[in-house]
Amino acid sequence: MSTSPKSKYLLFSFVTILFVVLDQVSKIWVIRNIKGPRMVVKDINLLDEFGVSLEEWAEFPTSIDIIPGFFSLVHTQNTGAAFGIMEGQMIIFGIFTLIAFGTIVFTLAQMPDDDHFQNWALALLTSGVIGNAIDRVHKQSVTDFLHVYFESDSAIGSALKGMIGSTAWPSFNIADAAIVVGMIMFGIFYVFLEQDHEDEGDDIKSPESATEGL
């Protein structure tokens, strides 16, 4: 049974909107419930922006353990990209975002109507780009809160410390996770599934590179 072009765009829109909402709701919850070290970013007072009193903020925990020794919720405000690089470079982020959206629109238009795998991958990438872009436009920083860490005497902890100088992975958010998962899905597609599309005469370019730094 063939899938209509309308269904392709409906699926893409649904997944994109769903993850943008999840990303933004989670970030608002974190700002209103976890004490962050940088509540004033670029002269923007986050407490005022999100309706939190100083008394309420003083009672917030600095972190919430989900899986002790491995995963917790924290609150950081990142004015750069992943690992804090390109801090404050809003023009560069704007250029990356425009390139990403242009590539996404082109890829979606070229994508086969019944290719749900690539559709999900593209929607996840799009939601991640939009989620972090909303943060940068609204408050010139991105709220990160997912914190994965390892004990210093563990094998993974020691290996991670050797690579990045810390036993904790840099904090991230749902938008970041969506971008990474979307890129992994595209990697799987081009390693394992692309030949099937080539046999059918499809030639679709990946938008992965356009999302770097977002």
Catalytic residues: 144, 176
**Cα dihedral: 133, 75, 38, 139 (round 10):** 20
What angle is formed at CA 123 by the lines to CA 183 and CA 66, rounded to 5 degrees? 70
Q: What share of the chain is helix, strand, coil (3-state, %, to 5)?
A: 60, 10, 30
How far is Cα 118 from Cα 11, in angstroms, rounded to an integer? 11
Amino acid in the structure at residue 89? Q
Strand order in the sheet with 64-67: 64-67, 71-78, 142-148
DSSP class of residue 203 equals: -
How far is Cα 172 from Cα 33, in angstroms, rounded to an integer? 17
Contact status, residue 143 vs residue 175, Cβ threshold 8 Å: no
